[in-house]
Amino acid sequence: MASASVTASAYGARDHARAQEGRQVDAMPVLPASSWPAPPEGIAAEDIVWAETVAGGNYTHQVLARGTELRLTDLAGDACAHLLLFSADRPWERLNAADTVKVLWNAYLGASHLLLSDQGRVLASLVEDSSGRHDSLTGTSTLARNTARYGDGTPQSASPAGRELFKLAALKNGLTPRDLPPSISFFQGVRIAEDGATEFTGSAGPHTTVTLRAEQDVTVLLANVPHPLDPRAAYTCSNLEVLAYRGEPTAPGDPVWDATPEGRRAFLNTAGHLTARGIA
């Protein structure tokens, strides 16, 4: 931290700020994204459009073009990526966790699962998954819950709640708290027991990944915070790696398109909507 004498004048503050250029910390965006030091296998550096490491207790957001692939990596085994998706130019069409579960007859997210809006259309498809520990049922943490558990849940605290961080990400995209539906999360698992109880199954370990494909232009909101059912007393959440790179949307004949009759219908709904708008 700079001393008061260094930043006491506008010139001193300017010189101090400029001296920070090029400095790196463990969790921050990489700009330009193409300078990311280790592109995924088969991905050209120039095709990377978003590269960031999100620390525990932080959030990020981005607008991605249709066909872009978004790879999330749990670097140390304690990340929990809470996700919301919105149609980029029509934010009233947004992720509907209930329909994502109900329409596809499956509450457990994994490869070939589709993330649906309440319009019966596909916002994103899950094309790869090496974790298998996710949650489409619980949502993210709240101010009241984190205050009760950790003593504080405000965004600037040491234990920010996921919904409070989503509010900040939403505001930066012209959205309000009323626009925030229940989220889904990756890398910390939840299962439903035979008696209906909710069981927290935790992480599959470090370096597991999930890759999503945007099937429309989408606004992505991510909050990396502990899962609300995590039983640990301490606020525990490690770094999340976020990479996005150019790709192609799912097309007829792709195994993801044809994985289920319901999914195929959702893709057809999406294609019809985009065709009518002159996008596809």
pLDDT tens, residue by residue, 232-277: 999 999 999 999 999 999 999 999 999 999 999 999 999 999 999 9
The tens digit of pLDDT for each residue in 89-111 reads 999 999 999 999 999 999 999 99
d(CA 138, CA 109): 13
Task: List Cβ neighbours of 147 (8 Å cut-off, separation of 6 or more).
Answer: 153
Which of these, 97, 117, 121, 122, lies nearest to 109 by C-alpha position?
Answer: 97
Cα separation, 182 vs 184, whole angstroms? 7
Domain boundaries, the chain: 25-276
Q: Band of the pLDDT at 25, cuts 50, 70, 90?
A: low
In DSSP notation, 199-248 reads EEEE---TTEEEEEEESS-EEEEEEE---TT---SS-----EEEEEE---
- pTM for the predicted model, two decimal places: 0.93
